[in-house]
Chains A and B, each alone.
Chain A
């Protein structure tokens, strides 16, 4: 039996190395930055410098830190939401009945449209303080991150392997212990992946949410988003480029420092029983493992977390093992009745509100504009697929290239496309092109990469023997695409396309309207409609636009993507 030394003793045997010093500097630097930003949020809103930005590139590092911290605050909120909402939806049958459809809809609702109103709400919570604005911004980012994370947890909790569940019961683990020993570990790979996706999605909202105007007042929270907004106002192209550079640096930093190590670490929780090919540890993870101080801290944290998860807390006194308990019908009926009452009440309020301010003509207009945007999204999806599917397949079939291209595609997906708007707007203005056509590509600028990296993954996973068989029978040209490759990657393609098309709808709100100084470009479409209504402060039109857009997205998903995915799952996967 090996002797386990107390942590302090073990540490005494090793001297601090260079990495320890580097790590100390990093940790303290981060702490000081957080403290600085936290002080900034408590000042009154009209204090000098509290809501002003300057285009001086020297200020960019500070702005970058503040923006990043906002994103992480939102991420924290999203995680909390995930673990409460997602768990409740999965654990309680009755809650799930309501929460799951809500989540499904929320995923498709372009929350961006509501920005103005959430700002007013949060400013009223903390009148005259920057904190209100900060919270509004964080909330906007949160709305772009939370849903898919919660969904991921929900789905994992619903698919925990039955034998492991039985094992935890027969070994007397309490509900709390089971949650932390079985359910959360099982959910981690999906959750980490979705957290990464959420971070990417969040950037889009940062740029939109840091500079807000309500009525005649415009506030700019110090951050990269405000910096970009100001640069656009003042037609300062070099400032835009500086901002892009800063953002690249930030994305690269948290990708390398946080997500690469996280993904590598989460591979341990992948539910597979055979050892697969493992990639090298990212340098950051190696660093963490080599740095004594950090390692000790990590071990301590791990022990603490382990002890916490191992506590024998139980939320119900009934033995969890006996699962044949019949659900009470009476309680079911009461719940459903309550739900029906609430729904009727909400429906009544909506109709009352709508009939006061809106006419059928408004609805027809919104739906008509929605159709225009629908055409845009459809055309873009076709174009993006025509371009990226062949490229993705080519890359995916070459393992060396696939390995190189995959992180690049993911990085591009993380890059907020709205930063690339200014050059495009300049281009349109300069050549005097039609905004109705030329603003359109902006909608897929950020979302097309989902198609690319999913197709790469699909092609990389394509069975080698099938490829060999196709080659052996001299299947080539169009036949090869039709009978071999496209059926083989369809599930992957659809997964990417769902994300891409949903994202494009959302992007329409920002992409159908673009400005450069005083020049305002506007395309016809539902996105522009919502954006205009937001600027005018017309609540009812924003609501209408958002509802119509959500309906379009949901219908698009239900009528096209889901059946396609189900078909691909059923017919085009082996086993």
Chain B
């Protein structure tokens, strides 16, 4: 018993970037997966958890580090591993039955055997009667059931799931989760172990035996938790709630400033990555927090529940407010600051002024762009240049997000204008 199914040691994934340091997505990740457990990789978007899943599945080879599948090094997609995709990845031209048979066909299973096993998997997952339907005739939940059946039919030892329920609505996702757990508890799932990626804390606590919490940039395993509750679990159980709260606190804890303080003496204004957060969302959240029942202080899990937000959506929002000193996020709570209160009570013009002041004080990139514009005789500057400079410090996607965010914020605060067609900053509409 407890034989290690999968072992990842010292895994590092970096994308080589010319003329600058490598962009590290994953760093120093260790993971051991034993038979009979469901493990969650929990983290924010960009924490490299999906990358790790792809490395485990053999779709991607890590830059360095080792992956062992049943004791032997992994060189490609392993035989006993099947994957469920976030986007379902169903073939629109194949029927449910044909989609499910795909993996068997690839293994050269004879036709009759194929049909028998596909039928069994389809019935198991509750798709009976839909065999001849095409994916486009199905709802999202039914489609993901096809994705599950397709993975289960090959009787994988390890089932990988990449945010399998995040494209579904709340009710459908819940049904699918409980169905899956029921099958698992009853021993009906033809798998030995499950590894799933999620950014939904409750989902992880509800389904998994172990949770690896990832920190971002670069992705590392920040902590590992064991979920002690037996199935079926009750979301309203105080112990369950406490665990969710604890994980929230864990994920909102300030990243230990150790590596930064030590290495980055002169912090470049371009080293700050921003996630795409809109002005309306920010002011909306501040208004909500200022009003009943929060009065300036809210428990993040409760707030997320009330707003029907996932941690992935709420945390960046909170962090953006924190960056601008409109709020403070701490140990799973978010509190409005004095500046935040001022903003809530202000009218439109005053809000813009406050926002502009906050930007100039706390987002050096905005100040830098404005400075460049002021210096130029024609008050124009190409965005490409800033993007390139950002890319020296972060991945291209991050650089793009950061630039887009800064453009949105700067436009709102009327610090600069932006011409999308020419990809140019300018001062045309300013004063």
Contacts and interface: CB of A to CB of B under 8 A. Distances in A.
Interface in B57-115: 57-61, 75-77, 79, 81-83, 85-89, 91-94, 102-103, 105-108, 115
Interface in A284-336: 310, 312, 319-324
A167 B75 contact: no
B106 A177 contact: yes
A323 B77 contact: no
Interface string A1-26: 10010000000000000000000000
A contact face: mostly helix, strand, loop, or mixed: loop
Given A321-B59, A322-B61, A322-B75, A571 B421 contact: yes
Interface residues of A, number: 37
A270 B79 contact: no
Contact of B87 (A163, A170, A275, A320): A163
B contact face: mostly helix, strand, loop, or mixed: loop
Contacts of A182: 91
B92 A170 contact: no
A310 B105 CA distance: 7
Nearest to A164: B89
A570 B422 CA distance: 12
Contacts, number: 96
Contacts of B59: 166, 169-170, 321-323
B154 A171 contact: yes
A218 interface: no
B91 A170 contact: no
Looking at B58, B79, B91, B421, which has the most chain A CB atoms within 10 Å of its CB?
B91
Contacts of B54: 166
B58 A171 contact: no
Contacts of A520: none
Nearest to A276: B136
Contacts of B386: none
B89 A322 contact: no
Contact of B137 (A1, A173, A271, A275): A275
Contact of A312 (B92, B94, B103, B106): B106
Contacts of B115: 4
B76 A321 contact: yes
B108 A181 contact: no
Given A177-B106, A321-B59, A268 B134 contact: yes
A131 to B, nearest CB: 40
Contact of A185 (B88, B91, B116, B154): B91
B119 interface: yes
Contacts of A172: 77, 79, 103, 106-107
A269 interface: yes
Contact of B106 (A171, A324, A570): A171
A271 B92 contact: yes
Given A312-B108, A571-B421, A167 B93 contact: no
Looking at A182, A273, A570, which has the most chain B CB atoms within 10 Å of its CB?
A273
Interface in A144-197: 161, 163-164, 166-174, 177, 181-182, 185, 188
A272 B136 contact: yes
B77 A170 contact: yes
A185 B116 CA distance: 25
A326 to B, nearest CB: 10
A323 B89 CA distance: 19
A188 B94 CA distance: 14
B106 A185 contact: no
A274 interface: yes
Contact of A273 (B86, B106, B119, B136): B136
Contacts of B76: 319-322
B102 A173 contact: yes
B135 interface: yes
A173 B106 contact: yes
B61 A272 contact: no
Contacts of A185: 91, 93
Given A181-B91, A185-B93, A312-B108, A170 B102 contact: no
A324 B61 contact: yes
A274 B134 CA distance: 10
Given A172-B103, A321-B77, A270 B92 contact: yes
B89 A275 contact: no
Nearest to A268: B93
23 contacts: A1-B116, A163-B88, A166-B83, A167-B83, A167-B91, A167-B102, A170-B58, A170-B81, A170-B83, A177-B105, A181-B94, A181-B102, A182-B91, A268-B92, A272-B136, A312-B108, A319-B58, A319-B75, A320-B76, A321-B58, A321-B76, A321-B77, A322-B76
Report, nearest first, the 7 A-B pairs whose CB atoms are least far apart: A319-B76, A171-B103, A163-B89, A167-B89, A173-B106, A321-B76, A269-B93
Given A169-B77, A319-B77, 11 more contacts: A1-B119, A166-B89, A170-B77, A171-B106, A171-B154, A172-B79, A172-B106, A268-B93, A273-B136, A312-B106, A322-B59
